[in-house]
Structure 1
């Protein structure tokens, strides 16, 4: 039942984001809005950690979710600050939707921000943004989502997996529907192109979430 409550709280947090009618044209403005309106029961996307507010900043609380940084220190020996903060992750990476626009081909993200109203709207769409621990946001990069055979041991008890060689990320079960729904939203709203392999994976995740919800309702 504790796991069920956790999943329901996580889903409720996601609904708060997707139900919003707010539209923005600047990524920075969208992030400020999300920080101000973050629900008290919000969880980080990949680890399900509680999120605390420290002034204008958000920080993860690893005590309940068991997150342990993959790298406590950077290569230069400094504390890995990204492991200590919450960042706003593009579930569909800017690289992914940006590469489908001509502006990116002509000059990358900087050029798209300058010349493309569509890109600016996509980059600032809060339905595609989720709170994530900064280290995992960095490790995810623009890797595609998929299923991996190895065990989830990189981040303590956090069940996300990142295979840097294959450039694949496997999110934990409770995050998969949010991810699949977001890809569906971006496809419907902006015409995002999704490969057949990825679409089959997202369809499977949505079916699994529905089956799990049906089973939980019978308890």
Structure 2
């Protein structure tokens, strides 16, 4: 009976994969490793609220909104696509017809959007600032002071994001996985960068554990 129930849950979940379902599963998968991706700051859930255990490592770039209200995204955990939705969505006809909204009913897009290997917990402000910008290798003497001691930098002018060394391999493996699994074309520069980052930052224990847990759900 237990096997039958488990099988039914699996079929229901992945017959119709969705971003919202994946986020619920990831919340459980990350329950033993509740740290933000870019800043490595612990967080906890209390009811429906997310509480950052900020030790001063992260200073919001915009603590308030343009209307003077508190910027709630500086305290909120969001599940960010390492490879942005635009990168994989633009390969589909629906994206050219109307972007993400038009692709919502598309099953191929839904599967890519829900793929948990491409999702990480991010502070809302950093998720918003990074937007759909591509990652890049920082130049020497580049200052990482936008978010206090959190080593993450967004170049809004050139639309580039610069992560810390400790997660470059995680980013690379997510990109290479998405490219191979869904036939997403990477530019020559981007493919080479990800290959370099993969070697620079080898896979770690948590990444292995996380991938095994994800595999149980989405194979």
Fold match by TM threshold 0.5: yes
> Which of 70, 79, 95 is equivalent to 2:86?
95
Q: Please tell me whether the aligned partners of residues 161 and 171 of structure 1 are also in contact (alpha carbons under 8 angstroms).
A: yes
What pairs up with 1:115-130 in 2 under 5 angstroms?
A: 116-130=106-120
Q: Please tell me whether the aligned partners of residues 130 and 154 of structure 2 are also in contact (alpha carbons under 8 angstroms).
A: yes
Structure 2 residue ranges without an equivalent (≥5): 1-12, 206-219
Structure 1 residue ranges without an equivalent (≥5): 1-21, 214-219
Aligned length: 190
Structure 2 Cα separation of the partners of residues 61 and 193 of structure 1: 38
User: What is the root-mean-square deviation of aligned Cα atoms in Å?
Assistant: 1.9
> Which of 102, 110, 135 is equivalent to 1:145?
135
Aligned to 1:200: 192
Partner SS for 1:39: helix
How far residue 135 of structure 1 moved from its aligned partner, in angstroms, is 0.1
How far residue 152 of structure 1 moved from its aligned partner, in angstroms, is 0.3
> Which of 55, 65, 68 is equivalent to 1:77?
68
Aligned to 1:8: none
Aligned to 1:6: none
How far residue 103 of structure 1 moved from its aligned partner, in angstroms, is 0.8
Structure 1 stretch 73-82 or stretch 31-40: which is displaced more? 31-40
How far residue 42 of structure 1 moved from its aligned partner, in angstroms, is 2.8
How far residue 202 of structure 1 moved from its aligned partner, in angstroms, is 0.8
Aligned to 1:48: 40
How far residue 39 of structure 1 moved from its aligned partner, in angstroms, is 2.8
Structure 2 Cα separation of the partners of residues 129 and 159 of structure 1: 20
Partner SS for 1:210: coil
Structure 1 Cα separation of the partners of residues 203 and 86 of structure 2: 32
Q: Please tell me whether the aligned partners of residues 148 and 161 of structure 1 are also in contact (alpha carbons under 8 angstroms).
A: no
How far residue 96 of structure 1 moved from its aligned partner, in angstroms, is 1.1
Aligned to 2:209: none
* TM-score normalised by the chain length of structure 1: 0.82
How far residue 154 of structure 1 moved from its aligned partner, in angstroms, is 0.4
How far residue 212 of structure 1 moved from its aligned partner, in angstroms, is 10
CA deviation vs aligned residue, 1:83-132 (integer Å, no higher than 9, x gap): 01110000011111111111100121111112x11000101111110000
Partner SS for 2:79: strand
